[in-house]
Each structure stands twice: as C-alpha cells, then as structure tokens.
Amino acid sequence: MNWKDRPTLVTGAGGFIGSHLVEALVSQGARVRAFVRYNSRGDVGLLSLLPAVKGEGLEIIAGDLRDPHAVAEACRGVTHLFHLGALIAIPYSYLHPRQVVETNVMGTLNVLMAAREAGVERVIHTSTSEVYGTARMVPISEDHPLRGQSPYSASKIGADKLAESFYCSYDLPVVTIRPFNTYGPRQSARAVIPTIITQALVRDLIYLGALTPRRDYTYVEDVIDGFLKVAETDRAIGQTINIGSSQEISIGDLAQKIINLIGRNVKIVTDKQRLRPERSEVRRLWADNHKARDLLNWSPRTSLDEGLLMTVDWISRHLDRYRPGVYQF
C-alpha cells in the first residue's frame, strides 16, 4: 500500500507506540493528524522527540477522547484511523476506575461514531493482551476467553466489544490489533523493562514487584510493522489479531537478562507497593501469533536480546528523562 499523501489520524499519538507509529507513517509520506490529549503546557508527549514534529506531513491536534465534538472534528477528511488513545496504567486504574472507563470505553465509542459519520475507510482499534487475563491455555489465541482482572483490562474489553459491534451492526471497516507487551526506545518507566534498565544502570538495588509472572515481549518496530500490515490487509477487516513474539519469559528472568547485558553487579529486591492485588495479577501471557503470520504475513524480526540492547542504549543516552527507583504508575 502506498501511504504517500494519505490523510491519516492517530489517536494517542503522543504515547510510546503512538509516537513510533506517527514516525513510521510520516516517513512513508502519509499526511498524519496526531490527536494528543490537551494540557495547558502545550506538551505533545513523545512527539517532541521526533524530527518530523517540525516538518511537513504532521498536524498536531489537542483534545480529549471524551469530547465527541473534538473527536468528530479530528476525523474529518481522513481515510485511515489508528485508535491508540487510552489510559493504560493498571495501578492507576485501581485508583481512578471511572476516569479509565470514561476514557477507554466512551472515548472509543466517540471514535467509532465519528469514523462512521466521516466514512473512514479503515479503523484500526488497539486492544491489549491484558484482556485475556491469566492464560487458561497456552499459547493464547484470539479465541481465548476474556477476563477483566483490573479496571483497565475490563475497560479495554468493553472497548473491544464496541469495535466488534460497530463492524457487525454498521459494517464499519474495523480491525482490532491486540499487541502483547511492547517495549523499546522512548517507553516510560511505567513499564517493567525501562524500570529494570534505569535502575540497573545507576543503582545497586533494583526494586520490582512480583517476579514470577510470565510475559511475551515484542520490540516496538515489529509492533509498528503489525499496525501497518493490519491497515493494508483487506482480509483483516472484522478480525481481532494478536501481535506477539510467541515466546515467554518471567519477570525475574527478564531482570537477570538485562542485568547481564548491562554488566553491573546489582541485586533484585521485592517492593511491596509494586505488588498487585492477588486476584488482579495476570500470571501468564504468551501469544499465539499464527493468525498474524497467516493473515498478514507478519512475524517479529527482532530477538529479545537485540531489542533489549537497543533499548538499553537509548535509555542510557536519555537517562535524564527518568527517575530511577521512583515507582511510576
């Protein structure tokens, strides 16, 4: 597919994955409208790190997903809509479940309604592997039952089902992409890999929560490739598609791997404030990515070691953006 001059909207554009997606689309010539949450500081999030933020092909619009008028205005004239906007921090959802539901569920409803009204040709709705809850069978296929073990995951289940309903009820050309744990440059210390790296670089103790949960990590450039392939594949319309490496590793083993890559003698300590409620902790996520391989001809190209090395390199050069050891939720 030729993205040159294609009018495209990205919600959540100032976030980790969103900023990488904007960068990829602009580099391919798309005319990108980046929807970021308004704040009085004029802060555009991680878009400020992109050279493209000062170039052509990028229009930044500030608003709020909960405002249907703002969303409708952002949708006007676009052919493709990548919906990544969400409140994603699980610990934050324990504290403010209403705000999370309003943003993730009602915000998604506003996006879907605006896309339908504007006649958008393709809507790519972003889900999360958290909607599966602790794996009942592995690897996890798209047919795995959904379980809301946190207000965040419950809100994303609601958003996913809204997307499904708009495809079934209104023929809206929606695809739901379901990334497993994405990592890479620019990611905040809200996520575990930057949390480990920042502490391992400068501290003798690494404070973490539970070490036994197992996760499936995919490098951000591979995830972005999945987003683009979903948008370019007509057979994907109406489908939900996992994007994951199809490999799993425990948090403890991941931490040790990062420590070995960095080469410092540090110790891991359990920090009680980082532990999630017992029934809310998702114990195991391991992606079955056969559908992405078969339908999209997608597969991850970056090994975990390669991706971690690139992430360590970026974080070490931008350590001033982090507060090692401070629990960021």
> Which residues have a catalytic role annotated?
152
Q: Are 80 and 32 in contact (CB under 8 A)?
A: no
Cα 189 off chain centre by: 14
Please state whether 241 falls in left (phi above 0), alpha (psi between -120 and 50) or beta. beta
Q: Are 240 and 127 in contact (CB under 8 A)?
A: yes
Return d(Cα 192, Cα 168) in angstroms, integer: 37
Return d(Cα 293, Cα 246) in angstroms, integer: 11
Q: How many other β-carbons are positioned within 10 Å of the β-carbon of residue 250?
A: 15
Return d(Cα 168, Cα 189) in angstroms, integer: 38
Nearest residue to 124 (alpha-carbon basis) of 243, 216, 36, 38: 243
The DSSP bridge pattern shows strands 217-219 and 181-183 to be parallel
Nearest residue to 125 (alpha-carbon basis) of 161, 78, 168, 170: 161
Residue 300 token pair: 């991850």
Nearest residue to 115 (alpha-carbon basis) of 177, 63, 73, 161: 73
Return d(Cα 163, Cα 119) in angstroms, integer: 15
Return d(Cα 97, Cα 93) in angstroms, integer: 5
* Residue 151 CB contacts under 8 Å (≥ 6 apart), including other chains: 93, 94, 97, 100, 101
DSSP 140: B
